[in-house]
Structure 1
Amino acid sequence: MKKTLLFLFISTIAFSQTREPKAGELIDFVPITASLDTYAVYLPVNYTPEKQWPVIMVFDASGRGKLAVSRFREAANKYGYIIAGSNGIKNGTYQENLNIARSFYSQVLDNYSVDQDAIYLAGFSGGARLATTIAVISKHVKGVIACGAAFANNDAYIPKKNSFLFAGIVGDEDFNYREMTNSEDYLDKLKFDVDLLVFSGGHVWPPENYITKAVRVMSLKSMTRNIIPRDESAISKYFSEDMQFNKELINKGAMLVAYNDIQDIMKNYRFYVEKDTMKDRRKEIKRSKLFRSQRNDQYYINDVESAFYMDYMTYLPSDINSGELESLAYWEDEINTLNKEYVNSANLQKQKMGKRVLSFLNVLPTELEEKYNENNGLDNLLYINIFKTLANPKDYSAYITVMRYTVTKGEYGMALYYLEKMLDNGFKDTERLNNEDGIALLRIQPEYNELLDSFGLKTMY
């Protein structure tokens, strides 16, 4: 059996090595020498090995190399970049991921005609933190495109000096939105050349046109810093594309975002373009009533949002640690208030802030969960999972976990209560319930089967 597996592995590598990527083709799995890891790669349509090309190496927190690379395909073709995305990076320890990244990095440089003075990194979520970490500890990375997160939670991996370019991209409903704006302020104080792009959405890979803009900004700044050769016709093209991108923001009514964008355009093109055109655009935006309204809303939200995070990060860990279920009534009221006053508000800025804060309340308990185990922290884990059902009534995994813990504690009435709540919120996968070992004693209760039957679902008994 071992010989068969070894043969299959060697055969897979041999086959993959015969599939050399072609210009304009995205390859999903390219093997890394002496490793089980692979990467995805895309060569721009005009790629030729006779020329050296800048490269962007991309990290997705779930090892989705193909997805990550596909987001950069338009930029690769427009601005001439090799794009490679690791399939091995996952949300794990930094030491593990740094070792994986080191092999991936070396393989890409060996396999393609790369300009080793023009190496860039990019990533999403934990992959963005990894990209910034590598840029901090490496002398060879010229820039980072960080999507949905900025820095690692380790002082040694946080930038301390202006040694690389930085472009951040974040959704305006992302729970890391405030982190990204704070990171921009931090880097500004260090005199970093930093841009932050904000799109409409949550904690997901940004739309392709935002990634293309980030690569465009990186290309322009690299020319300014003589990292890549200066090309006046390319700069003129970049400027036209950036002004069109800005116009599209205005057309969508995103006036505050458009204002911040034109400010960045004025900064980035100060050596190349007379300011009058950009000043006229800025005046056009500032005269808009919608801009003034959005700006005033933002002032209010900046004050309020930070207070929410500070309170939640102080009180939720304490309540989880106590494991007293009575305090969940407070959190239920708090979540209901968030939904009523913010998520369901007629004011768009308040809506988006509400969604960010609610998303944060979905993520924070999962991070705190790692501290506990079922042997000596069952009450704490029960608290966390009940909280999850309050923050997201469609989190069926949390309901099932609550049922499993309450059955373990012999509290069948509570288990049935959360089963009913889950069914009320649209759960219909009885097969999943049938296969859940931890609730076997609940399934034989008459009330369990009566409850499923009342919702028109098939029962086992």
Structure 2
Amino acid sequence: MKKKYAILFLSAVFLQSALAQQLVLKKGTILEALPVNDSVATDTYSLYLPTNFTTDKKWPLLLIFDLNGKEKQALSMFVQAAEAEGYILAAPQILDSVSLSNSMIKTSKVVQRVANILPIHRSRIYTAGASSGARFANLVPVFIKDVKGVISIGASIANTDLLSVKRPFHFVGMTNKNNYNFTEMLAIKKVLDRFRFPNQVLIYEEQTDWPSLDYLKKALQLFTLSSMGKRVIAKDSVYVENAFQEDIAKVNQLKNTQKLLQAEQYMSEMMATYGVHKNLDSLRAVQRDLRRDKVFRGMKRAENAAFFKETLLKEDYQYYIEEDVVTHNFNNLGWWNYQKSEIDKFISGSNRYEKEMGNRLLGYVNALAEDNIDIVNSESLIDEDALALLYMLKTILEPQNFEFYLKIISLSAKNEDFGTALFYLEEALKNGFKDMDTLYKLENTALLRITPKFNKLVSKYLKDARYDIIEE
């Protein structure tokens, strides 16, 4: 018996739920706060149907995750790509504070909900996310067998021990060379090749958390090409050829702008993508000639030298941050300050590969510090000395991020260490902090705020203080 789908009427799709409640799903519009269960209003998701949606065929589904409560914004990043490639989008409301098991249960319910009310192709369900959302998206196919692939933006697979050759999924990683996860993304590709998981890594130019539309569209295109290669859907020779010519144009653009390493890497990904669809001997010849090019080989040596230096520095950073946190080694903040100045030299230098390395190192040590802050804060008995050290380290790494100055001031005032609190107050003011309202509402600083030294500093940098300064 054929499954009955809802009737398409003009621009809206009217669908009946299991309890005969009517949903109105408009095409071409992001629909928010749709209930996962008819009886539980708190579990919701966002949904997007392409403007050419019909019930006459089965559609691929892309689940998009953001763990910071911005799932609609994350979904909106894929809208144009979904329009171009013909994908339905859904974004479950998943928060980082919720346990992994509960989040997976909710994700599974969203998959079932969407598949029950829309004509979803069960063999074409994928996930996507950026940063923490990507790390969660990477885990979904491990626990939910219906999910066949992942678009992971700026994050590698966190735990390779969970991978199984019996449950392969298609991994599409996206990053830029300045992202601290770049080298991890290259490393995970080797692991996935060993596991025989289909995979591609797309390297984009922008130093942003999200790639451009072309790369998001390409990621969806890779899933479609894979489905055609596996005969999950009928092969469209015109679609394959158009995609291939787009990629050839991309390779030529990279070669013409002397981005030879990226051009060679992109050709390798093309081999994995199109090998099942067409003869690639001519492409292999182009790649072989590029690898023999003296300029290419010089670039490769320079990049490998930067990778080697980066590996050694990362090992130092990881060792010393763990040692400093355990021993409360405030004296080593001078060493960290020196390391930050060295990283800044890499970033401002003329060596392209060391510049990229410097950006990756800065991102890496920032992530190390933030991870350790989360670990300390998660303990039942918080080690406030360790926390203070990590906050101080963050002010070295991000001198314009005033959040951590304020945290030190609050924590120091709580422990009546007014000298430290006043030092970091002045450092914040020197670096441009101007939010007097926040300053005078800062937790644990009631006693500090009425001292002459506090108000004298505020008056010096902000021209006015809330309390009169009375010198005895």
TM-score normalised per structure 1: 0.89
**Counterpart in 2 of 1:6?**
none
Asked whether 1:129 is paired with 2:135, we answer: yes
Deviates most, 81-90 or 189-198: 81-90
Deviation at 1:82, TM superposition (A): 1.0
CA distance in 2 between partners of 1:226 and 1:457 (Å): 71
Distance 1:163 1:437, change over 3 A: closer
Deviation at 1:36, TM superposition (A): 1.0
Number of residue pairs matched by the alignment: 444
Q: Out of 86, 93, 99, which is 2:92 matched to?
A: 86
Question: Gaps (5+ residues) in structure 1?
Answer: 1-12
**Counterpart in 1 of 2:3?**
none
Distance 1:93 1:318, change over 3 A: farther
**Counterpart in 2 of 1:98?**
104
Deviates most, 436-445 or 19-28: 19-28
CA distance in 2 between partners of 1:270 and 1:437 (Å): 61
Deviation at 1:203, TM superposition (A): 6.5
**Counterpart in 1 of 2:215?**
210
Distance 1:451 1:288, change over 3 A: farther
Query: 8 Å contact 1:430–1:458 — kept in the other structure?
Result: no
**Counterpart in 1 of 2:225?**
220
CA distance in 1 between partners of 2:80 and 2:282 (Å): 27
**Counterpart in 1 of 2:186?**
181
User: Secondary structure of the residue that 1:398 maps to in structure 2?
Assistant: helix
Deviation at 1:154, TM superposition (A): 7.5
CA distance in 2 between partners of 1:251 and 1:230 (Å): 32
CA distance in 1 between partners of 2:441 and 2:236 (Å): 62
Which whole-Å deviations, capped at 9, do the CAs of 1:334-355 have from their partners, x for residues lacking one?
Answer: 1111112x11111222112111
User: Secondary structure of the residue that 2:32 maps to in structure 1?
Assistant: strand
Distance 1:454 1:281, change over 3 A: farther
Deviation at 1:200, TM superposition (A): 2.7
Distance 1:162 1:264, change over 3 A: farther
Distance 1:237 1:184, change over 3 A: same
Query: Percent identity, aligned pairs only?
Result: 29
CA distance in 2 between partners of 1:339 and 1:159 (Å): 41
Asked whether 1:235 is paired with 2:240, we answer: yes
Q: Out of 285, 310, 314, which is 1:309 matched to?
A: 314
Query: 8 Å contact 1:26–1:42 — kept in the other structure?
Result: yes
User: Secondary structure of the residue that 2:314 maps to in structure 1?
Assistant: helix
Deviates most, 123-132 or 178-187: 123-132
Deviation at 1:385, TM superposition (A): 0.4
CA distance in 2 between partners of 1:288 and 1:42 (Å): 47
Deviation at 1:437, TM superposition (A): 2.5
Which one-letter code corresponds to 2:358 in the other structure? Answer: G
**Counterpart in 1 of 2:260?**
255
Distance 1:372 1:24, change over 3 A: closer
Asked whether 1:356 is paired with 2:360, we answer: yes
Q: Out of 28, 31, 36, which is 2:35 matched to?
A: 31
Distance 1:245 1:72, change over 3 A: farther
CA distance in 2 between partners of 1:25 and 1:410 (Å): 54
Deviation at 1:170, TM superposition (A): 1.5
4+ residue runs of structure 1 moved beyond 6 angstroms? none
User: Secondary structure of the residue that 1:30 maps to in structure 2?
Assistant: strand
**Counterpart in 1 of 2:63?**
57
Query: 8 Å contact 1:51–1:113 — kept in the other structure?
Result: yes
CA distance in 2 between partners of 1:425 and 1:123 (Å): 34
Distance 1:35 1:311, change over 3 A: farther
Which one-letter code corresponds to 1:129 in the other structure? Answer: R
Query: 8 Å contact 2:145–2:167 — kept in the other structure?
Result: no
Distance 1:281 1:37, change over 3 A: farther
Which whole-Å deviations, capped at 9, do the CAs of 1:294-338 have from their partners, x for residues lacking one?
Answer: 322211122111222222222211111111211111111111111
Q: Out of 424, 438, 453, which is 2:444 matched to?
A: 438
Deviation at 1:111, TM superposition (A): 2.2
Which one-letter code corresponds to 1:215 in the other structure? Answer: L
Which one-letter code corresponds to 2:227 in the other structure? Answer: S
Question: Gaps (5+ residues) in structure 2?
Answer: 1-16, 468-472
Cα RMSD, aligned residues only: 2.4
CA distance in 2 between partners of 1:271 and 1:153 (Å): 30
Which one-letter code corresponds to 1:255 in the other structure? Answer: L
Distance 1:281 1:47, change over 3 A: farther
Query: 8 Å contact 1:175–1:357 — kept in the other structure?
Result: yes
Distance 1:46 1:252, change over 3 A: farther
Q: Out of 435, 454, 461, which is 2:460 matched to?
A: 454
